[in-house]
Copies of this chain bind each other. A is one copy, B any other.
Amino acid sequence: MNEWEELQESVGFDFKNIELLQTAFTHSSYVNEHRHENLKDNERLEFLGDAVLELTVSDYLFNKYPDMAEGQMTKMRAAIVCEPSLVEFAEMVHFSKYIRLGKGEEKAGGRTRPALLADVFESFIGALYLDNGIQAVIRFLERLVFPKIDTGIYMQTVDFKTQLQEIVQRDRDVLIQYDILGETGPAHNKAFEAQVVVNGQVLGKGTGRTKKQAEQNAAEYAIRQVLRVD
């Protein structure tokens, strides 16, 4: 079994046009070093795959969360179709080992560079879409991406500090202030505590492994308070 057969088995799809799959894994640095072979790099497929991902993820969110506001869906989509998430998906299916890289890029550590890996995930989606259609992409995401969305992990990237500001400033000018109350634990396992003060009144407290996370949690708590009062 050669590497392309192995890759197809791993993703669960047979490509009619194997060149599409190969192009998806071909970095421009490899093309530049093999000019006589008349290869294509993966950049055009990445352009297409990005749009395919945007739509399939949007469609999933739209149907899965019928009551979610547009603003939150937009934030969730951005948290799913972004470099760190795409790198994670690419790693789940071991895409890194199949990438065709130029020697210079290889030496420079390109194979594990997040931006490069995220691009390859998108170009693979573009190739799968062209070769097998959008339903195949959806089936692939049903295995790899949608279960992860269902865990709620991408909800946590919602920016509660911004949300709180939007909510309390609807009615009147208010002053929102965050204080770090303290930190506990050893260096490798710190916990911070924060509070949010709205017009002089403590509306929420929260803890987190970073100051930022503690403030986010305080803001989330305050939002629940404010919405209950309203």
User: Which residues in A have some Cβ–Cβ distance to B below 8 Å?
Assistant: 43-44, 46-48, 50-52, 54-55, 57-59, 62, 68-70, 73-74, 77, 134
A52 cross-chain contacts in B, Cβ below 8 A: 55
Interface contact B59-A43, CB-CB below 8 Å: no
Interface contact B69-A58, CB-CB below 8 Å: no
A70 to B23, CA, bound (A): 14
A57 cross-chain contacts in B, Cβ below 8 A: 51
Per a CB cutoff under 8 Å, which of B51, B59, B73 touches A54? B51
A59 to B51, CA, bound (A): 9
Per a CB cutoff under 8 Å, which of B46, B55, B70, B73 touches A55? B55
- Min CB–CB distance A4 → chain B (angstroms): 23
Interface contact B74-A62, CB-CB below 8 Å: no
A51 cross-chain contacts in B, Cβ below 8 A: 51, 54-55, 57-59, 77
Per a CB cutoff under 8 Å, which of B44, B47, B50, B59 touches A48? B59
Interface contact A62-B43, CB-CB below 8 Å: no
A68 cross-chain contacts in B, Cβ below 8 A: 44
Return 18 A-B CB contacts under 8 Å, by A number: A43-B69, A43-B70, A44-B68, A44-B69, A44-B70, A44-B73, A47-B58, A47-B62, A47-B74, A48-B62, A50-B58, A51-B51, A51-B54, A51-B55, A51-B57, A51-B58, A51-B77, A134-B134
A54 to B54, CA, bound (A): 8
A59 cross-chain contacts in B, Cβ below 8 A: 48, 51
A73 cross-chain contacts in B, Cβ below 8 A: 44, 47
A77 cross-chain contacts in B, Cβ below 8 A: 47, 51
A44 cross-chain contacts in B, Cβ below 8 A: 62, 68-70, 73
- Min CB–CB distance A133 → chain B (angstroms): 11
Which 5 interchain pairs have the tightest Cβ spacing?
A43-B70, A51-B58, A51-B55, A55-B55, A47-B70
- Min CB–CB distance A136 → chain B (angstroms): 15
A134 cross-chain contacts in B, Cβ below 8 A: 134
A67 to B57, CA, bound (A): 28
- Min CB–CB distance A57 → chain B (angstroms): 8
